[in-house]
Structure 1
Amino acid sequence: MNYKIEKWEREYLRDYAKKQLEIANLPIMQERIKRWYDHNENKKGKPMIVIELASFKDDVRIPLKTQSDFARNIESAIQNNIQIHELFDDDEVCPDSISFGWDIKYREFGVDIPVKKSKDALGREIGFEYQHPLNDLEQDFHILKPFTYTVDRSNSFARLEAAKDIVGDILKVEMENGFQRWGNMITQKVIQLIGMEKWMIAMIETPEIVHKLMDYLTSNLISYQQWLQDEGLLTMNNGNHYAGAGSRGFTHELKKPADGHIRLKDLWVNVNSQESTGISPEMYKEFVFPYIDRVAKEYGMVYYGCCEAVHPTWDTCLKDLSNLRKVSISPWCDEQFMGERLRGTKIIYSRKPSPHFLGVGYDFDDDEYKKYMLNTLNAAKGCNLEIIYRDVYTLGGNPSKAKRAVRLLRELIDKYWE
């Protein structure tokens, strides 16, 4: 990429960066930082609230003013940080920084997986279908190859320095390796390769080949992350970093080593298995859990889950996941059951409310919403609770619903949370 930008773009970005810094320096941000540290370290306090912007950003998008690609990258990052504060007033902390990833060429499987996409009425490509490269797992397994990866340090640092030259005296400009966010979804990769139906049939007809596939994926994923560690490409995620499905990483329990060489066990990792909801808890324990646990053992703290219900597999094995600190309580989860299981433990109840209150229709149903969220507060009583709104793909033309949802929830917390 060409990192040169126009003079007027530079001036505009510097002014925009100053606006982000003003928000980051608000007293409320320091209060939130303390609350996040206390929350993640299981000190008693009020539940944390997050609304994730990414899935409905098109609803509130402000047209970018800059023209060059690099300037637009910086502008978009700053805009995102500012909008979260202005639109939601949730417990997100506006950072005093922007970040860039390493320029890594990463190829899985040794085969391509074409994706067939479908557009909705607004032209968004939300629906998709993988064109699976494996037709018969046993016969086609030989086409799978070790993962390959290389890093272009020169370009990575050139991009970082170019950004520092533009806004580095206003905002911190940092390198961030985000693989721990969504890179370890093993069963998602299974479905990419062979598809849901064939995977489920294979578990019955050729279980040894399924274990071979799960081991292949897990071993290659761990090898890649150990390469990141050995190459010095890991970055800490124990501060204002995305850690888990929508949550934040603030904790003093994970520390950067004194020698500066960051290890996997110094970090959070996010893992899940949404694709295994259709199999029994016993099959999950046999075919899925051991491989997720191998990844979890490499890390310091683990966030488990996304949209899948966790209560069916909790007693069977999930409660024993290594280094587990947070578990996702999705709309399909038995809240009461999980409240009973998590009460008195150090595992955080990470609630994902149904997105339909924000995502369906123009109007916001205050009464139904309050009843729904009060059920969560009652179910999670005695637990360490956070509430994260994710997978909201539209606000129905009414952006004010997001801030209203936060305000009403805070009122309920003030009234009913002990």
Structure 2
Amino acid sequence: MNDLDILRGLADEYTHIALSDDNRAIPGRYRDLNRPDASVRPPVLVFEEPWDELENEELRPLCRDERMRNMEVILRRELFKLRHHRGDYAVKPYAEVPVALSTGDWGFRVQDKRTIESLTGSAISAHSYVDQLTDERALEKFRLPDIAIDDRETSARTELTYRVFHGLLPLRRGGISLYMPSWDVIPRLHGVENCMIDLYDRPEFMHAVIEMFTRLHEHELTRYEELNVLESDPYYLHCTPACTYDLPVKDPEKEQVLARDIWCRSMAQVFSMVSPEMHDEFDLQYTQRLFDRCGLSYYGCCEPLHNKISYLRKRFKNLRRISITPWADVDTAADEMGDDYVLSYKCNPAFVAGGHLDEAPARAEVERVLEACKRNRTPCEFILKDISTVGKRPQVLAEWVAMVNDTIDRKWQP
């Protein structure tokens, strides 16, 4: 069997799922949830699986050509999820061709060293970073990068996708979803400890740093509009459902997709330990400049935000979703959110890390979220992500999905 035959076989199975009635119904439920509507059954989803430690016949690539092998890996992983721990995951009824971009130098490049490696084969590791943002003079290296469409790479992607999905699914150009994680990058250029100390000792310098990153993101957003490469039909925004009735789905081959047509997402995970006032001063007021240009916004990731909801509410008039993590007080979060936002609950991945489901605390976690959201009429969802390891036993992901759905069946009422 040659490489194309391998890919066509995988694409055929993918197509049957993509065009099924069950799959086509899921985005409608996402749209209802994002109204927001507390009567919608909470979706259950798994993302960011530790693929590098998962080895079996279903996932093992066979293609020899590098480009075909890369597509094969993507298809095999998608099909593995759909077969085993799908939950409420949906795939698009067309074959998406991601537009390729070339981005020029903006003055900095992360310099790091891995300090602790995983023992299970997972790609997750600990890092140390070289401080490149030592003082104001260091910031003078910053420049706005050139951003352009890489026509050759985009054409190569289109040609291969056509060969694989011809006669199965229509092709559609995929775009860029806005994900503006300034405070994920700044610690990699300055160091986490340095960032925390300088917020207190050198506040003006840190304002200059975040202003630099905000200008970078504003430039990126403007260029994406000019190039017409923004994504107007996202199913997911960093692991959470993004389908909505409130934003248009446009064909970028025929229409201009603008910032006001799309979602924007940001967070400041490193601010888990800072006060609400400092969080607002050094992130939210800058993020507001980006969110104000967009149609809808989603804030948060792994940082606890239960005591910062009022600041989010004040800053972001188009806010629709808020991430609430295991380190947050979900009762306080739901009390503060009410029925104004979707509570995107990120479940604790430690409960699957040993290769078996630690069921008692995992079920208690889900029950606690359901009770808090029911009391406040808060729409919610359950997302398992940031999964560093499953002890090389992927079955635990299916067990987790089944447990959450069983708990929802017993405890959730619209």
- Structure 1 and Structure 2 fold alike (TM over 0.5): yes
Cα separation, 1, equivalents of 2:2 and 2:104: 38
Q: Percent identity between the aligned chains?
A: 21
Give the secondary-structure state (helix, strand or coil) at the position aligned to 2:199: helix
Q: Who is 1:58 aligned against?
A: 53
Is 1:249 aligned to residue 242 of structure 2? yes
2:301 aligned with 1:306, yes or no?
A: yes
Provide closer, same or farther for how the CA distance between residues 112 and 407 of structure 1 changes in structure 2, counting only shifts above 3 A.
closer
3-state SS of 2:131 partner? coil
How many aligned residue pairs are there?
404
Deviation of the 1:113 alpha carbon: 2.2
Contact 1:377 1:416 in 2 (8 A): yes
Residue 57 of structure 1: how far off its partner (Å): 5.4
Secondary structure, counterpart of 2:171 in structure 1: strand
Amino acid at match of 2:9: D
Q: 1:95 is matched by which residue type in structure 2?
A: K
On the 8 A contact 2:120/2:391 being kept in 1, the answer is: no
User: Which deviates the most, 98-107 or 209-218?
Assistant: 98-107
Q: For 1:16, which of 10, 25, 42 is the aligned residue?
A: 10
Note the alpha carbon deviations across 1:148-177, whole angstroms, 9 max, x for none. Answer: 323222331232123213323213333323
TM-score, with length taken from structure 1: 0.90
SS in 1 for 2:370: helix
Cα displacement (A) at 1:129: 2.5
Alignment of 1:286-301 (within 5 A): 286-301=281-296
Deviations 1:215-249 (A, max 9, x none): 121012111111111112223134xx221x31122
List runs of 5+ in structure 1 lacking aligned partners: 1-6
Name the amino acid aligned to 2:356.
D
Q: Any idea what SS the aligned residue of 1:408 has?
A: helix
* 3-state SS of paired residue (2:2): helix
Aligned counterparts of 1:31 and 1:177: Cα–Cα separation in 2 = 23
SS of the equivalent of 1:50 reads strand
Counterpart residue identity of residue 414, structure 1: D
Equivalent position SS for 1:312: coil
Instruction: Give the letter aligned to residue 198 of structure 1.
Output: N
* Deviation larger for 397-406 or 69-78: 397-406
Distance change >3 Å, CA 60–CA 95, structure 1 → 2:
farther
Q: Provide the residue aligned with 2:130 in structure 1.
A: 131
Give the whole-Å Cα distance in 2 for the aligned partners of 1:370 and 1:211.
42
Question: Is the CA contact 2:53–2:392 (under 8 Å) kept in the aligned structure 1?
Answer: no
Q: CA deviation at 1:94?
A: 3.1
CA contact (8 A) 1:289 1:318 kept: no
Q: 1:394 aligns with which of 365, 389, 409?
A: 389
Corresponding residue SS for 1:387 = strand
* Matching residue of 1:40: 34
Asked if the contact 2:268/2:303 (under 8 Å) is kept, the reply is yes
Matched, 1:352 2:350: no
Distance 1:60 1:176 in 2: 29
Distance 1:26 1:103, change over 3 A: closer
The aligned residue for residue 355 of structure 2 is 362
Q: 1:124 to 1:78 in 2, by over 3 A?
A: closer
* Distance in 2 (alpha carbons) for counterparts of 1:231 and 1:66: 34
Q: 1:109 and 2:77 equivalent?
A: no
Q: Report the Cα distance in structure 1 between the residues aligned to 2:17 and 2:250, rounded to whole angstroms.
A: 31
1:311 touches 1:338 (CA, 8 Å); kept in 2?
A: yes
Secondary structure, aligned partner of 2:208: helix
Q: Distance in 2 between matches of 1:131 and 1:250?
A: 40
Alpha-carbon separation, structure 1, partners of 2:247 and 2:283 = 27
User: C-alpha deviations, 1:50-86, integer Å up to 9, x for none?
Assistant: 0114434532561101110121122122212211111
CA contact (8 A) 2:348 2:362 kept: no
AA matched with 1:353: C
Matches within 5 A, 1:132-147: 132-135=131-134, 137-147=135-145
Q: Measure the CA separation in 2 of the matches of 1:220 and 1:362.
A: 41
Partner residue in 2 for 1:261: 256
Residue of structure 2 equivalent to 1:154: 152
Deviation of the 1:186 alpha carbon: 1.2
Q: Structure 1 residue 93 and structure 2 residue 90: aligned?
A: yes
Deviations 1:19-47 (A, max 9, x none): 11112233321332322221122232211
Residues 250-274 of structure 1 deviation map (CA, whole Å, 9 limit, x = unaligned): 1121104696100011111221100
Contact 2:307 2:332 in 1 (8 A): no
Which residue of 184, 201, 204 maps to 1:205?
A: 201
1:275 counterpart SS class? helix
Question: How far does residue 352 in structure 1 lie from its aligned partner after superposition?
Answer: 0.6
Q: Is the 8 A contact 2:53 2:121 kept in 1?
A: no
- Give the letter for the 1:131 counterpart: V
Higher relative contact order (CA 8 A, sep 6+): 2
Is the partner of 1:253 in helix, strand or coil? coil
| 2:99 counterpart SS class | coil
CA positional deviation for 1:278: 2.5
The alpha-carbon distance between structure 1 residues 242 and 60, as it changes in their structure 2 partners (threshold 3 A), is farther
Give structure 2 stretches of 5+ with no counterpart.
none
> Does the 8 A contact of 1:23 with 1:82 survive in 2?
no
Matched residue of 1:216: which SS?
helix
| Counterpart position of 1:326 | 321
Alignment CA distance shift 1:77-1:398 (3 Å): closer
Tell me if the contact between 1:55 and 1:390 (Cα under 8 Å) persists in the aligned partners: no
Instruction: Write the letter of the residue equivalent to 2:201.
Output: E
Correspondence for 2:25 among 22, 31, 49: 31
CA distance in 1, matches of 2:98, 2:231: 10
Using the size of structure 2 for normalisation, the TM-score is 0.90
